[in-house]
């Protein structure tokens, strides 16, 4: 089954689709290993991990596409790209969709912010007119070659114009051809329920995000599912967890003057090598190298196999 079709089926299922945010290949692999069925690329995480900068529209389109391609190639689950505003007008949106589809993504987020955009839970956001965004959604739907490639239309209108404008835009974007409507930064649980009550009975599939420390109160995935939400992204928790883990381990090492007291704070060498696929490299060597070359590198096939099992 194509990943696009798989993602669409997951979004149409009764069970809510939870998509943690991947900021690099390793985080995507861990998300898959943890049992999640899909992952959302995190533009916030991209900016932080690649540039060491906040999510304020500083990443270029080329940087985002190249990084996304590597993530797609590192996992077997569907990956949804973060297309920000589409990087310009309707013509730019066409290329944005085509490039993300070509690199193997199963869908893309497109938002109605003015470029340069910023994280949806930061202050100072501006949005383009509804009519302009409708044109962008139509262009995105036209540009995809695979009809199952998911167009996730995000509206950031809440902060400046209020919940009623969010509902109005959501309906317009759905009618323009979006497959999912991402309602960014609701400010209360009642507001989450309001959007669901207004949109779900119309057959509109909606998405929320649970951003740690953001403007939206954190609720359980089950609660969102019961409200009628089809998807929930958790875009920044993985990079926050990684940052905390690195911080704690480094502070421990600095305090101790050595790295001998980090058990439980770091993944062991062999386990990490297995996670990133070293045994597969050994399998390829065993498959394609001659006995002479294997003996030269390892001493014997038996040693090679032992090293593969031990993750070294």
Query: Which helix (H) or strand (E) covers residue 251, if one does?
Result: helix 237-256
Residue 262 lies in a domain: no
Q: Are strands 79-82 and 107-111 parallel, antiparallel or unpaired?
A: parallel
Q: Is the same domain home to 61 and 180?
A: yes
Domain assignment present for residue 105? The answer is yes
What's the domain range around 222? 3-235
| Residues 71 and 187 both lie in one domain | yes
pLDDT at 97: 98
pLDDT score for 307: 87
Q: How is residue 281 annotated by DSSP?
A: H
Any domain includes 254: no
Question: Is residue 312 predicted with pLDDT exceeding 90?
Answer: no
The answer to whether residues 7 and 126 belong to one domain is yes
d(CA 312, CA 306): 9
Instruction: Answer whether residue 246 is part of any domain.
Output: no
Residue 27 shares a structural domain with residue 175 = yes
Confidence tier at 248 by pLDDT (50, 70, 90): very high
| 291, 143: one domain | no
CATH for 12: 3.20.20.60
Contacts for 155 with CB less than 8 Å, ≥ 6 apart: 111, 112, 127, 133, 166, 169, 170, 173, 181, 182, 183, 184
* Beta-strand relationship, 206-209 and 79-82: unpaired
pLDDT at 33: 97
Number of domains making up the chain: 2
Do 28 and 176 sit in the same domain of this protein?
Answer: yes
148 part of a folded domain:
yes
Task: Please check whether residue 243 lies inside any domain of the structure.
Answer: no
310 pLDDT band, cuts 50/70/90, is confident
Q: What is the pLDDT of residues 258-277, one digit of tens each?
A: 999 999 999 999 999 999 99
102 and 153 in a single domain? The answer is yes
pTM metric for this prediction: 0.95
Assigned domain for 242 exists: no
197 and 282 inside one domain: no
Assess whether 165 and 303 both reside in one domain: no
Tell me if 261 is assigned to some domain: no
pLDDT tens digits for range 45-102 = 999 999 999 999 999 999 999 999 999 999 999 999 999 999 999 999 999 999 999 9
Q: Which two tokens stand for residue 8?
A: 């669409």
Looking at the fold, whether 187 and 55 belong to one and the same domain comes out as yes
**43 and 131: one domain?**
yes
Distance between CA atoms of 82 and 105, rounded to whole angstroms? 10
Q: Are residues 46 and 129 in the same domain?
A: yes
Average confidence (pLDDT) over 113-133: 95
């Amino acid at each position: 089954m194509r990943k696009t079709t798989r993602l669409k089926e997951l979004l149409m299922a009764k069970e809510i689709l939870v998509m943690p945010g991947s900021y690099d290949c390793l985080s995507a692999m861990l998300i898959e290993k943890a049992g999640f069925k899909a992952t959302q690329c995190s533009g916030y995480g991209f900016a932080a991990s690649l540039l060491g900068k906040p999510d304020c529209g500083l990443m270029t389109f080329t940087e985002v596409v190249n990084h996304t391609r590597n993530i797609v190639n590192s996992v077997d689950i569907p990956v949804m790209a973060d297309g920000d505003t589409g990087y310009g007008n309707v013509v730019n949106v066409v290329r944005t969709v085509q490039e993300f589809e070509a690199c193997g993504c199963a869908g893309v987020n497109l938002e109605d912010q003015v470029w340069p955009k910023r994280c949806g839970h930061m202050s100072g956001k501006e949005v383009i007119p509804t009519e302009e965004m409708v044109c962008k959604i139509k262009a995105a739907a036209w540009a995809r070659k695979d009809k199952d490639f998911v167009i996730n239309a995000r509206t950031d209108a809440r902060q400046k114009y209020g919940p009623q404008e969010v509902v109005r835009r959501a309906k317009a974007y759905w009618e323009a051809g979006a497959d999912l409507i991402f309602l960014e930064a609701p400010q209360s649980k009642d507001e989450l329920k309001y959007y669901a009550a207004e949109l779900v009975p119309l057959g509109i599939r909606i998405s929320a995000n649970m951003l740690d420390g953001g403007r939206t109160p954190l609720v359980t995935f089950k609660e969102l599912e019961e409200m009628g939400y089809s998807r929930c992204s958790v875009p920044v928790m993985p990079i926050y967890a990684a940052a905390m883990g690195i911080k704690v381990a480094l502070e421990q090492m600095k305090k101790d003057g050595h790295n001998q007291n980090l058990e439980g704070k770091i993944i062991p060498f062999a386990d990490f090598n297995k996670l990133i696929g070293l045994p597969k490299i050994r399998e390829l060597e065993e498959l394609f190298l001659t006995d002479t070359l294997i003996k030269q590198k390892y001493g014997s096939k038996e040693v090679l196999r032992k090293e593969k099992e031990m993750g070294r």
